[in-house]
Amino acid sequence: MTVAPTPTPLAARRSEAASAALTEIDGRTVAEFQLRGGKHVGAIGPPEGHTVTGIARLAVELGVPLIGTIASSGADVAEGVASLHAWGEIARAMADASGVVPTVLVVVGPCISGPALLLGLADLVVMTEDAFAYVTGPDTVRSFTGIEVDHRSLGGAAVHGRRSGVATLVVADEDAARESVAAVLDLLPSNHLEDPPRCTTTDPVDRNCDRAAAVVPARPNASYDIRIVIEDILDAESFIELRPGHAANLVTGLGRLDGRPVGVIANQPQQRAGTIDIEASEKAARFVQWCDCFNLALITFVDTPGFEPGKDLEWRGMIRHGAELVYAYAGATVPRLCVVVRKAYGGAYIVMDSKGLGNDWCGAWPSAEIAVMGAPGAVQILHGRRLGETDDDTERLREQAELELEFEERFANPYVAAERGFVDDVLPAVDTRRILASALDRLATKREQLPPRRHGNTPL
């Protein structure tokens, strides 16, 4: 990666803590700012606000990615209330840039108080291992709750990489952060009016996906790592997983298929059996909307037994948060492809970009099970009373097994779904790469116009 700043920084007012310039990352122009140093550790006052807001506006005008490096102690107390308005102006400029140009923030130190909210506005947040971010500090937490916490346990990079999901990637140091930023930008367009950059690949598009086919167990409740499937289907060594530690029961990331950048969403049977919970719904919904902003085709791999059950999840709003994923997929206008790898049950099957939500192409492996629910649960609902009247345990188990097999043959296999138009192709697992690439070729010129309106009311 090469980074070459222009000789003249872009800052109309002098600031000790902020600087801005047009630079290049691997030959691509980006608008970059630094918010760090100075008397008060990168504190934001009117000069800093003016500098960062200016470069953010310029990024939109030029149609280039906005990259910021932050180590900030918050609003500059010495500047009074004007410093609050300064970071508010930055927030407004970043909101205006959202969906227009890629926005990336790299946190290399503290990022606290109101300015920490800027991280929630960025498309990507990369944190170094020694960085931390929070809105309310340890002293305030202690005085309000009596709980003793320090900077790291309250808002360290590990916390944001696993629990909060604020950090897209957590890396060792600033050099590694810049390498990560360059790798992700290589898969993105410079702005929403451009297509992602396609490149040539030495990975044959018609090769067999033997590893992907072999790794998925025949037993529906056996665990495996869906990332092996993804990596074998996409171009070799092209997949970059984003937010890997957060909501690990669902995988999101970028990669290439026959040289074309794509966004990937997949259930992860290795974690929580691949069920969908609140965090997974939020993670996938934000990712889908982001890919749709920047013209990245979506490929969804489905292997889920359903939504995760639980009183706590329902009380925390599983309905609202599950609807976020529905809303994101239903509103996405980029090419959308889906592969049912193994299980696809109930409402979780529908929200994973099913035909009902408007995907463009859906395939399924021959061993896939597509149904309202699994055979054991369905048999209990349909024949529970009849089975309960059988006194002989051996006979009851035999009859139950026969009913479950009959249900699978009549309702749960992909051929039934294909007959009804819910699956476009039942494909051999080894052919998945070739068939997906072919489908993506056909959909590359897709153009879809949504009804004119100010904006929808997304179920935040």
Residues 320 and 436 in one domain: yes
CA angle, 157 then 48 then 193, to 5°: 75
Once rounded to an integer, what is the mean pLDDT over residues 298-311?
95
306, 340 contact by CB (below 8 A) = no
At 12, is the pLDDT very low, low, confident or very high (cuts 50, 70, 90)?
A: very low
In this structure, the strands spanning 297-304 and 336-345 are parallel
* pTM of the entire predicted model: 0.92
Closest CA to 117 of 91, 96, 138: 91
What pLDDT does 418 receive?
92
Residues 24 and 128 in one domain: yes
Residues 259 and 298 in one domain: yes
Q: Does 450 map to a domain?
A: no
Q: Does 453 map to a domain?
A: no
3-state secondary structure of 107: strand
Query: What span, in angstroms and rounded, lies between the C-alpha atoms of 332 and 129?
Result: 34
Residues 125 and 220 in one domain: no
pLDDT tens track for 63-109: 999 999 999 998 888 888 988 999 999 999 999 999 999 999 999 99
Q: Which two tokens stand for residue 396?
A: 């009851």
Q: Does 34 map to a domain?
A: yes
What pLDDT does 79 receive?
85
Residues 171 and 224 in one domain: no
Q: Does 364 map to a domain?
A: yes
At 358, which CATH number?
A: 3.90.226.10
Once rounded to an integer, what is the mean pLDDT over residues 301-320?
94
What pLDDT does 405 receive?
73
Compute φ and ψ for 428, nearest 5 degrees: -60, 140
Query: What span, in angstroms and rounded, lies between the C-alpha atoms of 410 and 367?
Result: 14
Residues 180 and 218 in one domain: no
pLDDT tens track for 179-213: 999 999 999 999 999 999 999 999 999 999 999 99
308, 316 contact by CB (below 8 A) = no
Q: Is the pLDDT of residue 8 over 60?
A: no
Residues 219 and 148 in one domain: no
352, 267 contact by CB (below 8 A) = yes
Q: Does 44 map to a domain?
A: yes
At 9, is the pLDDT very low, low, confident or very high (cuts 50, 70, 90)?
A: low
Once rounded to an integer, what is the mean pLDDT over residues 26-53?
91
CA angle, 48 then 49 then 52, to 5°: 85
Write out the DSSP string of 257-308: ETTEEEEEEEE-TTTGGG-B-HHHHHHHHHHHHHHHHTT-EEEEEEEE--BP
Domain count, the chain: 2
At 382, is the pLDDT very low, low, confident or very high (cuts 50, 70, 90)?
A: low
Q: Does 221 map to a domain?
A: yes
Query: What span, in angstroms and rounded, lies between the C-alpha atoms of 372 and 350?
Result: 10
Q: Is the pLDDT of residue 11 over 60?
A: no
Q: Does 282 map to a domain?
A: yes
Residues 149 and 269 in one domain: no
Query: What span, in angstroms and rounded, lies between the C-alpha atoms of 441 and 427?
Result: 17
Query: Tell me, what DSSP letter sits at residue 197?
Result: P
Query: Please, which contacts does 5-12 make with residues 24 or more away whose CB atoms are closer than 8 Å?
Result: 5/32, 10/54, 10/55, 10/58, 11/50, 11/51, 11/54, 12/50, 12/51, 12/54
**Mean pLDDT value across the chain:** 91
Residues 25 and 123 in one domain: yes
Residues 179 and 232 in one domain: no
Residues 46 and 172 in one domain: yes
Q: Does 393 map to a domain?
A: no
At 378, is the pLDDT very low, low, confident or very high (cuts 50, 70, 90)?
A: low
What is the domain range of residue 42?
18-185
Quote the percentage of the chain above a pLDDT of 90: 72
pLDDT tens track for 404-446: 676 677 667 899 889 999 999 999 999 999 999 999 999 999 8
At 455, is the pLDDT very low, low, confident or very high (cuts 50, 70, 90)?
A: confident
Residues 157 and 221 in one domain: no
